[in-house]
Amino acid sequence: MESATEDGEMEMPREEVERIFCEAICRHACPSCDRLFTEAAVAWGNAWREGYDDRVREEGQDLRDGPFKLSCASCGARAWYNVFANRVRAVGERS
C-alpha cells in the first residue's frame, strides 16, 4: 500500500519494492540456458550486492546505481540485470 510523504510524493513499503524487483527479474530468461530466472537467482544477487557494497565502502569509494548480478539456478551462469533498461545480458558480453 502506498502512502504520501509530507511533500506529496508517493512512497511504497520496501517489501513491495523488493517483490516487484524480483518479479521483474523472474520474467527474464538466462542468456546461457534460456530458462527463466528464479527467486534463488535474486537471493544470490542480493548476497552478491551486499558483499560488493561492503567492499566498495571499505575501499572508501562511493556506491553507484548499476547492474544487478545474477546466478542462474538452472545452469550456474552469471548474468547482469540492467535495472534501468530492464534487460539481462551474460557476464562478459558487451552491450
DSSP symbols for 1-14: --EE-TTS-EE--H
Q: Please state the domain count of the chain.
A: 1
Query: Is 7 part of a structural domain of the chain?
Result: no
pLDDT of residue 73: 95
Query: Is 95 part of a structural domain of the chain?
Result: no
Stretch 61-68: mean pLDDT:
78
Query: Is 30 part of a structural domain of the chain?
Result: yes
pLDDT of residue 7: 64
pLDDT at 25 over 90: yes
How does pLDDT run across 36-61, given as a tens digit for each residue? 999 999 999 999 988 888 888 888 88
Query: Is 39 part of a structural domain of the chain?
Result: yes
Instruction: Give the three-class secondary structure for 71.
Output: strand
